[in-house]
């Protein structure tokens, strides 16, 4: 099936939530305020790419960037039945193409193998954090 890539930031909340549920990031019982605002992090990101199979959202990624030195990838997800077809790699490639000289960071517990496969190196810096109050 042909995959079409898009740059719109206002991804439909329901389709986005379905994608997050499908990859195990959401349990499907978010509170109404969270569901209503599910695309806000995408709208407020520097760049967004999404992948579509006909009218179905099958992949997404968003980036926060200063557009020069530092860029961070968030929420890269591909529908399980569409994984292994190069969609994740293409979404990241399109992001990197926007700011080719930037440093690129990503935080992941489960997808380190994927990122190493596409050129990311393990980073030994120590990050400190304050957790998000939403989840
Ligand atoms: C991680 C994820 C986005 C990869 O998307 P994908 O479309 O299946 O990946 P691709 O098909 O583009 O894979 C590109 C390459 O990485 C490899 N790869 C994919 N997942 C991998 C993994 N977990 N470990 C090692 N290599 C992996 C593929 O085999 C492929 O290699 P090739 O170029 O030699 O064929 C997808 O598995 C996913 O949505 N996972 C759940 C959500 C998640 O963990 N997201 C990352 C959080 S930051």
Residues in contact with ligand 1 by the CB-under-6-Å rule are 23, 76-78, 83-89, 106, 108, 110-111, 113-114, 117
- Fold assignment, 3-117: Aminopeptidase (3.40.630)
CB contact at 8 A, 71 and 102: yes
Q: What is the pLDDT of residues 78-101, one digit of tens each?
A: 999 999 999 999 999 999 999 999
- Region for 35 from its dihedrals, namely left if φ exceeds 0, alpha if ψ lies in -120 to 50, beta otherwise: alpha
pTM: predicted TM-score of the whole model, two decimal places: 0.95
What are the DSSP calls for 51-102, one per residue?
A: EEETTEEEEEEEEEE-SSSEEEEEEEEE-GGGTTSSHHHHHHHHHHHHSTTS
* Predicted local confidence at residue 132, as pLDDT: 82
What per-residue confidence (pLDDT) applies to 101?
96
Q: Is residue 67 pLDDT above 80, yes or no?
A: yes
Mutate-to-test residue for ligand 1 from 111, 119, 123, highest number of ligand atoms within 8 A of CB: 111
- Give me the pLDDT at residue 68, please: 96
Instruction: Give the start-to-end residue ranges of the domains of the chain.
Output: 3-117
């Amino acid at each position: 099936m042909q995959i079409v890539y898009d740059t719109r930031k206002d991804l439909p909340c329901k389709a986005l939530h379905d994608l997050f549920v499908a990859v195990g990031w959401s349990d499907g019982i978010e509170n109404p305020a969270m569901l209503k605002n599910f695309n806000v992090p995408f709208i407020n990101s520097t760049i967004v790419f999404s992948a579509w199979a006909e009218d179905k959202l099958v992949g997404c990624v968003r980036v926060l960037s200063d557009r020069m030195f530092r860029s961070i990838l968030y929420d890269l997800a591909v529908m399980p039945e569409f994984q292994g077809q190069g969609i994740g790699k293409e979404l990241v490639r399109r992001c990197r193409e926007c700011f080719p000289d930037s440093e690129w960071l990503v935080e992941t517990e489960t997808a380190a193998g994927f990122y190493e496969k596409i050129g990311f190196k393990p980073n030994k810096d120590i990050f400190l954090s304050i957790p998000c109050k939403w989840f």
